[in-house]
Structure 1
């Protein structure tokens, strides 16, 4: 893990087109600003984890291939 120290108003650049700026620093919170291309998805970790878990649960239920073929024919 790379650890950097930044002050309010300072930024970090990732691969030429993603910029993270420190907007505000309080006692126990930091406000970050992200400037990135629209195709770059930025999620809070708890949301990312929830989506990954939901996807894992959906995949575990699986679907019979014939049921899937029938559903595709109806559309």
Structure 2
């Protein structure tokens, strides 16, 4: 799994844990829903600005988001 896929998997995992639809996450993060869908599929090389919008919309922070083992080799 490459880093884009790992990031997308983590976004999807947190989104589903919160009970958010892709559309709802798109609305609260101000990121297009098709873009979020592509992120979750590992198809997008996401900018730090978009990462911040999504992480904040998921009510977490960078340290927490990136702290678990899902980003290790």
Q: TM-score, normalised by structure 1?
A: 0.23
Q: TM-score, normalised by structure 2?
A: 0.23
Greater length-normalized contact order (CA 8 Å, ≥ 6 residues apart): 2
Larger radius of gyration between Structure 1 and Structure 2 = 1
Q: Which structure shows the higher strand fraction?
A: 1
